[in-house]
Structure 1
Amino acid sequence: MEDISVFSCLVLLLSFLLTKFVLNNINNRRKNLPPSPPNSLPILGHLYLLKKPLHQSPAHQPLARPASLHGPILLVRFGIRPVLVISSASLADECFTTNDISFANRPKLPSASLTTYNYTSFESTSYGSQWRDMRRIANTEVLSCHRLAFFSDVRADEARALARQLFHDSTHEDFTRVELRPRLSGLAMNVIMKMAVGKRYYGKESMDDGARRFKELVEDSFALDGASNVGDFLPSVIGWFARRRVQSRRAQIHGYRDNFIQALVEEQRRMMKEEVGELAGKKRSNKTMIETILLLQRTNPEQYNDRFIKSLVTTLVSAGIDTSSNTIEWAMSLLLNNPEKLEKASKEINEKVENDHLIEESDLVKLPYLHCIINETLRMYPVGPLLAPHESLEECKVGGYNIPKGMMLLVNAYMIQRDPTIWPEPTKFLPERFLQSNKVDGGKMIPFGMGRRRCPGEGLAMKEMGLVLGTLIQCFEWRRIGLKDMDMKEGSGLIMSKANPLEAMCRPRKSMISTLSQL
């Protein structure tokens, strides 16, 4: 009797799930909603598809299989949140051109409330006047062509510091084993911090206890800020219990980071007050990012308050370090696995740049193949394999389906940029595919996002990556450790990093020893 009872319960449960699935599909068809994968569970919805939280596996993978089985446009339910998943270039183009304003919002995930200053940071704020104002400041005062040109010396100094450090650490005759990741991330941090406050925070000569602690906290915050929290998708009470374990650590990190950046703001404010003589009260072209906003604060203290400054600095630090350093590490790994491409890049630099000086940003326009290498790396290993989530502001249509207001949007850039119908031999490293044009339209190449919420730091990242990668190729010979190919395993998390840091052998090129010895 007990077996019959258990069997009856199972039959009832299966009948309930089947009925629910059928009714949901009928309801979706009536509303003309996108198709959904089967087996949406009570409360959890399709969260089981993730198997692991997004921060414990490469972010693009959990959503790739449902897309390959059920199509490039899917409606999934992560707990209480409906999510539109897009995995084709044409649909991504439709989302961010035809429906650009419709998808200009960001979802408010509860776990991000603290670290984004209650959703007022640049990357998380709702679409509207506040976002437009922050975007204007970023585009005109921080990341404009004029400001990037002014800070070219900052990038050049850091590229030379990297070359000098590698040269001093080498034996000059034999190959020396080096790990690039900490050097590259330190360089990227220095570029951002010198733009923000005018001083370095990585390197033996500049790492005081405060700077060292800040660097450690930045690294810790990458892991937590990039971590998806299942509690964000569950009903309020259940979600609170699911989030609280991570939230305490997140609060601790945010508190230290907030205090550190506030101290930088106070330091900049004090320095501005101490200016005397000809500079007093006058605008300076060499002012730092924080100084720029502090000047605006004098005329509009409510709009440009200290929280505004801290959220902008935090955004630049979190977005500006990973983009360039991870891409350069991937590029070097790909070149080491394809030595003929490395030789081709080296030959181009030798022909276009004299050996008596290190490559400069003004030389980059003469190096099309170097740009092709960077673009092909971004295609194969986009730093954000899933674009930052968007949310629909209003009802719209995508792919002929109705998309209601308030739906979260995830675009799988990794799948799009490896789509064999767009990219022949998509898993092969072929920089030559970009030789005719480095610009690809129609949502086919979106490593920096697309539309009005596209990453404004793209110009800075491309200049920095070109200069640093060009310097590494110009100044040093590189080879793998042993005969095996470099490990290209992807790390876990929302940021596309290598699972294992790049270690390689390098030695100074004989033609560059004289130049390097003078650094």
Structure 2
Amino acid sequence: MILHILLLTVFWVVANHFLNKIKNLPPTPFPTLPIIGHLHLLKKPLHQSLAKISARHGPVLLLKFGSRRVFLVSSPSAAEECFTKNDIAFANRPDLLAGKHMGCNYTSLVWAPYGDHWRNLRRIASLEILSTNRLQQLSSVRIDEIRSLIRRLYRNQNQIVDMKTAFFELTLNVIMRMVGGKSYYGEKVMGAESEEFREIVAETSQLGGASNLVDFLPVIRWTGYGKTEKRMLTLQEKREKFMQSLIEEHKTKMGSDDEYKNKNLDGQRRKSMIEALLCLQESDPEYYTDEIIRSLMLYSWLSTQYNRLFYLLSTQYSWRVILIAGSDTSARTMEWAMSLLLNTPDVLRKAQAEIDNQIGSDHFVDESNLVKLPYLRCIINETLRLYPAGPLLVPHQSSEECKVGGYRIPRGTMLLVNLWAIQRDPTIWEDSTKFRPERFEGFEGVRDGFKFMPFGVGRRSCPGEGLALRMVGLALGSLIQCFDWERPNKDMVDMTERSALTLPKAHPLQAKCSPRPGMLNLLSQLSNLT
């Protein structure tokens, strides 16, 4: 009996392999096992494991993650073909449980299929929430929170600081103040509402570590893995209740506050994102429902930098679905950048010299100054090249059959672009693993063809790109301007990556800072402010 099963399995594997060739499908690593497909090949971190598979089998591959077909792309030319000629075909998202239970049944901006509804949500996000004008109106929020961080660092000078926590709390405060006008972290932030928000953030992080094989192996839906669905539903209920309370609070204020009645909201006062969306609701209540506003608020919170809400994380035989926040990706970009600067003090000194020459020490860096700091931008680009916040970009799914590289890609195939592998490819980048910001000198924009695309490309590229660059640029520029930085000891900062979709450091960054002599006057004035 066992021999018969073994022979049938071997026959199935071999027949399936040759059938793929007959169908003109992309190359497939041999063997593809029944039920689990290629899951047995994956190790952590996933992007590195996939890069090794591509190096061995080719830059375009068709894999099986359990029951799902996955088209893996690891070359700029194949990525270009996916996001130009086949951009519409790959404009959808995979239908995962996170999109059903935490994406309003696939109607949110992150999860909605490509079509009229998604285009309208994208337009609202791009024009009403993340437009240049809206970001400029709310620039004081970012400045205020970064100055608050500088004040805390100044008061704790020459002490070891947990920079991971500092960056994470900074970014979440900025996002929530832009969304609803309130911050939830800090020395003076207390109360039941803050505690509730922090609990939601903590539960989101915990759910991110929960196993959920159901998306890839539906046969286990009724085992213990199915409990993740219930946890998703419970968490989403809490998040929607919290966001709805903010909406109701703003509705009450907008209906009673003379400041709202007597001033032109488009020009004379800064609107939070909730206020802007509620103004749209007044003009078109049929479309701008509270549900739409909640989904866009959650998008702003969870997807500041990359509009992704899930993915697979692997150990050799263990899989996770990761729930990640955009605030997390921005904070981690800052953490990687500071880690790189601490390991290359000559680059840090060059960045400080640029700020001294272009900005001086009589005022703090602000967002309008960033255009004068091209080397700082080079540092950010080089950080995003080496440690992209989304090493596998945002997964797409084909809505129709198409061809890439001459191969047939069936409808319903998940597309993964291994950006981490492309941006470290030694055939494309000289000294590809070295931190060399100078390679981006004279470089305009944030893309270089399809070999450098940290914010994605195509119809579903990140609309939060402008906010991310402002936030990261202002934070790093301010910290470089105000302080001299050093490692807690003589050891180099450990740059090991931990396995997760936002590419966190395995060991959180700790650092020490001391005020730069030329900045003491400004820092002492800032410290005296309450």
- The match for 1:264 is 246
- Hey, what's the Cα distance between the residues in 2 that align with 1:217 and 1:490? 26
1:34-433 correspondence to structure 2 within 5 Å: 34-51=26-43, 57-170=44-157, 175-225=158-208, 229-235=212-218, 237-241=219-223, 243-276=225-258, 279-280=261-262, 282-285=264-267, 286-320=270-304, 321-433=327-439
| Contact 2:391/2:419, CA 8 A, preserved across alignment | yes
The range that moved more, 459-468 or 384-393, is 384-393
| Contact 1:226/1:494, CA 8 A, preserved across alignment | no
1:443-458 correspondence to structure 2 within 5 Å: 443-458=450-465
Alpha-carbon shift at residue 227 of structure 1 (Å) = 6.1
| Contact 1:45/1:78, CA 8 A, preserved across alignment | yes
CA RMSD of the aligned region, Å? 1.9
- 1:233 counterpart SS class: coil
- Hey, what's the Cα distance between the residues in 1 that align with 2:202 and 2:84? 35
- 1:230 counterpart SS class: coil
- 1:82 counterpart SS class: strand
| Residue 28 (1) aligns with residue 38 (2) | no
Letter in 2 for 1:261: M
- Hey, what's the Cα distance between the residues in 1 that align with 2:391 and 2:426? 17
Letter in 2 for 1:119: Y
- Hey, what's the Cα distance between the residues in 1 that align with 2:266 and 2:177? 16
| Contact 1:372/1:438, CA 8 A, preserved across alignment | no
- 2:379 counterpart SS class: helix
The range that moved more, 378-387 or 250-259, is 250-259
- Hey, what's the Cα distance between the residues in 2 that align with 1:242 and 1:123? 27
- 1:512/1:277 CA distance change after superposition, 3 Å: closer
1:494-505 correspondence to structure 2 within 5 Å: 494-505=501-512
Deviations 1:177-218 (A, max 9, x none): 111111111111111111111122221222323213312322
- Hey, what's the Cα distance between the residues in 2 that align with 1:228 and 1:114? 16
Letter in 1 for 2:40: Y
| Residue 16 (1) aligns with residue 8 (2) | yes
Deviations 1:406-441 (A, max 9, x none): 111111111111111111111110000000214443
The number of residue pairs the alignment matches comes to: 501
Alpha-carbon shift at residue 148 of structure 1 (Å) = 1.1
- Hey, what's the Cα distance between the residues in 2 that align with 1:278 and 1:87? 52
Task: List runs of 5+ in structure 1 lacking aligned partners.
Answer: 52-56
- 1:162/1:373 CA distance change after superposition, 3 Å: same
Deviations 1:436-485 (A, max 9, x none): 21444321112211111001101000011010001111000101121111
Letter in 1 for 2:371: V
Alpha-carbon shift at residue 79 of structure 1 (Å) = 1.7
- 1:450 counterpart SS class: coil
| Residue 464 (1) aligns with residue 455 (2) | no
Alpha-carbon shift at residue 282 of structure 1 (Å) = 4.9
Letter in 2 for 1:459: G
| Residue 484 (1) aligns with residue 467 (2) | no
| Contact 1:87/1:412, CA 8 A, preserved across alignment | yes
| Contact 1:226/1:495, CA 8 A, preserved across alignment | no
| Contact 1:218/1:318, CA 8 A, preserved across alignment | no
- 1:503/1:136 CA distance change after superposition, 3 Å: same
- 1:395/1:226 CA distance change after superposition, 3 Å: farther
- 1:452 counterpart SS class: coil
- The match for 2:315 is none
Deviations 1:379-401 (A, max 9, x none): 11111111121011111111110
- Hey, what's the Cα distance between the residues in 1 that align with 2:200 and 2:498? 20
Letter in 2 for 1:271: K
- 1:84 counterpart SS class: strand
- 1:446/1:295 CA distance change after superposition, 3 Å: same
Alpha-carbon shift at residue 92 of structure 1 (Å) = 1.0
- 1:451 counterpart SS class: coil
The range that moved more, 289-298 or 161-170, is 289-298
- Hey, what's the Cα distance between the residues in 1 that align with 2:457 and 2:222? 33
- Hey, what's the Cα distance between the residues in 1 that align with 2:17 and 2:408? 14
- The match for 1:54 is none
- Hey, what's the Cα distance between the residues in 1 that align with 2:206 and 2:8? 40
- Hey, what's the Cα distance between the residues in 2 that align with 1:33 and 1:342? 48
| Contact 1:81/1:408, CA 8 A, preserved across alignment | yes
- Hey, what's the Cα distance between the residues in 2 that align with 1:130 and 1:66? 38
Deviations 1:46-70 (A, max 9, x none): 222235xxxxx43313322221211
Q: TM-score, normalised by structure 1?
A: 0.92
| Contact 2:17/2:32, CA 8 A, preserved across alignment | no
| Contact 2:94/2:396, CA 8 A, preserved across alignment | yes
| Contact 2:17/2:30, CA 8 A, preserved across alignment | no
- Hey, what's the Cα distance between the residues in 2 that align with 1:240 and 1:446? 40
Letter in 1 for 2:66: G
Alpha-carbon shift at residue 278 of structure 1 (Å) = 7.6
The range that moved more, 256-265 or 42-51, is 42-51
| Contact 1:117/1:311, CA 8 A, preserved across alignment | yes
Task: List runs of 5+ in structure 2 lacking aligned partners.
Answer: 305-326
Letter in 2 for 1:258: E
Alpha-carbon shift at residue 152 of structure 1 (Å) = 1.3
| Contact 1:50/1:63, CA 8 A, preserved across alignment | yes
